[in-house]
Amino acid sequence: MNNFEFLNPTKIIFGEGTVEQVGKEAAAFGDKALLVYGGGSIKKTGLYDKVTRQLADNGIEVFELGGIEPNPRLATVRKGIDICRANGIGFILAVGGGSVIDAAKGIAAGVPYEGDVWDFYVRKATCKAALPLGSVLTLSATGSEMNGGSVVTNWEENLKLAHLSIHTYPKFSILDPTLTYTVPADQTAYGSVDMMTHVFEQYFSHTADTPLQERLCESILKTVIENAPKAIANPEDYAARANLMLCGTYALNGGMISVGVANDWASHGIEHELSAIYDIPHGAGLSIVYPNWMKYVYKERIERFVQFAVRVWDVDPAGKSDEEIALEGIQATRDFFTRIGAPATLAEVGIGDDRLAEMAAKAVQFGPLGHFKRLNQEDVERIYRLSL
């Protein structure tokens, strides 16, 4: 196990009805808030009314930025920064999925910074301060509700980049599983794929002697595998939605499940290029790419893939070679993603082979990807080709 430091400052408020606490929580951060939300799901579900009433009841003046895109755009983040600066707003409340929370983080980091917020994403500047933000999560997937990461797309340049900072952890996040009842089956599947792949990024590692971290990862994976099909079959299954929500939050919250473990994150880099050009849902891209990454790299440490197959997918190892067991585990992953309705090929989401080289070049713009196997441009292009 490697040496590590771990700090996660986000307060989690979990359970049915907890949205009623949002006004009180927000009031701790001043009397003006920017309410950030997406394309309208919160208006349809009545959540918008509940939240704005709560804020008003707690004496908070509300400014709004709706219409955050899935795969949120830099231009929208800049708009939010302008609204905050023009109105002296000191707090941001994100109500939505990962895209909304990520946009809120971009705004929070951008307001006190004298340059352009994109500097943080292209690693030209380090974030030294951010406005406080809170979230009400409506979709289980990214873990953005309890981490400092945000992913923003510069659509004009077809670049989708992540920024991580201790300053952009939400101060609080309200996790009410009933708010995810209306998430459609496809987004439930993509979110489940996303959280599983967050675990993969931390689990497929060369770091030795980390049995607790490995078992934490395996527990999350098994819990998603049990609960995603239930939530898709019965969207109002509280237990399934609650378990998925907790899995999403645990899977990517600053590394609690992988402290002292070298992480990979190559597949996320590979996926982000797909979303940056073709605007596909993040989890759909991961469903296509991840099993192909696995096939490309499993020989680097086959024992870990054998462990994955046996412990997560209950593959019976009797009479099989390590290679057979490892490949069975990878196939089980592919089959599960397909079973819950996530795509398996780029063709299924309308992507051909014309821009693979360009995406591979962009994916390695800051250097080779990954840790489990270092991937250069050629490797990345091969994984795209395997995904066609």
| Interacting residues with ligand NZQ (CB under 6 A) | 38-42, 70-71, 96-100, 102, 138-139, 141-144, 147, 149-151, 179-180, 182-183, 187, 191, 194, 252, 268, 282-283
Shortest distance, CB of residue 263 to Zn ion, whole angstroms? 12
Q: Which does 252 bind (CB under 5 to 8 A by kind): ligand NZQ, Zn ion, none?
A: ligand NZQ
Q: Which does 147 bind (CB under 5 to 8 A by kind): Zn ion, ligand NZQ, none?
A: ligand NZQ
- At 272, is the secondary structure helix, strand, or coil? helix
Q: Which does 188 bind (CB under 5 to 8 A by kind): Zn ion, ligand NZQ, none?
A: none
Shortest distance, CB of residue 210 to ligand NZQ, whole angstroms? 22
Shortest distance, CB of residue 104 to ligand NZQ, whole angstroms? 10
The b-or-e profile of 272-290 (16+ CB within 10 A means b, else e) is bbbbbbbebbbbbbbbbbb
Does residue 102 bind Zn ion (CB under 5 A)? Answer: no
Nearer to Zn ion, 199 or 309 (CB): 199
C-alpha dist (Å) from residue 241 to 170, 223, 232, 237: 22, 11, 9, 6
Q: Which does 39 bind (CB under 5 to 8 A by kind): ligand NZQ, Zn ion, none?
A: ligand NZQ
State the residue for tokens 């933000």. 133
Nearer to ligand NZQ, 46 or 367 (CB): 46
Helix and strand totals (H; E) in the chain: 15, 8
Taking the CA atoms of 264, 241, 342 and 233 in sequence, report the sign of the dihedral they define: positive
Nearer to ligand NZQ, 267 or 333 (CB): 267
Shortest distance, CB of residue 69 to ligand NZQ, whole angstroms? 8
Stretch that binds Zn ion, among 68-76, 83-91, 100-108, 188-196 (CB under 5 A): 188-196
Q: Which does 205 bind (CB under 5 to 8 A by kind): Zn ion, ligand NZQ, none?
A: none
Neighbours of 82 (CB within 10 A): 13
- CA-nearest of 232, 125, 230, 122 to 184 is 232
Neighbours of 75 (CB within 10 A): 13
What is the rounded CA–CA span in Å between residue 133 and residue 386? 40
Q: In this structure, what DSSP letter does residue 32 have?
A: E
Shortest distance, CB of residue 48 to Zn ion, whole angstroms? 26
Nearer to ligand NZQ, 294 or 315 (CB): 294
- CA-nearest of 241, 205, 201, 244 to 222 is 244
Shortest distance, CB of residue 280 to ligand NZQ, whole angstroms? 10
**Structure tokens, 40:** 């309208």
**Binding string, residues 194-213; x marks residues near Zn ion by CB under 5 A:** x-------------------
State the residue for tokens 């995406």. 359
Q: Which does 71 bind (CB under 5 to 8 A by kind): Zn ion, ligand NZQ, none?
A: ligand NZQ
Q: Which does 151 bind (CB under 5 to 8 A by kind): ligand NZQ, Zn ion, none?
A: ligand NZQ
Instruction: Give me the count of residues in the chain.
Output: 388
Shortest distance, CB of residue 306 to ligand NZQ, whole angstroms? 27
Stretch that binds Zn ion, among 109-117, 165-173, 178-186, 187-195 (CB under 5 A): 187-195
Shortest distance, CB of residue 384 to ligand NZQ, whole angstroms? 17
Q: Which does 80 bind (CB under 5 to 8 A by kind): Zn ion, ligand NZQ, none?
A: none
Q: Which does 109 bind (CB under 5 to 8 A by kind): Zn ion, ligand NZQ, none?
A: none
- CA-nearest of 137, 206, 134 to 171 is 134
List CB contacts of 84: < 8 A, sequence separation 6 or more. 34, 63, 92, 107, 111, 131
8 A C-beta contact, residue 299 and residue 208:
no
Q: Which does 41 bind (CB under 5 to 8 A by kind): ligand NZQ, Zn ion, none?
A: ligand NZQ
C-alpha dist (Å) from residue 66 to 69, 70, 110, 180: 9, 12, 18, 19
For residue 287, list its beta bridge partners. none
Nearer to ligand NZQ, 182 or 219 (CB): 182
Site for Zn ion in 285-344 (CB under 5 A): none
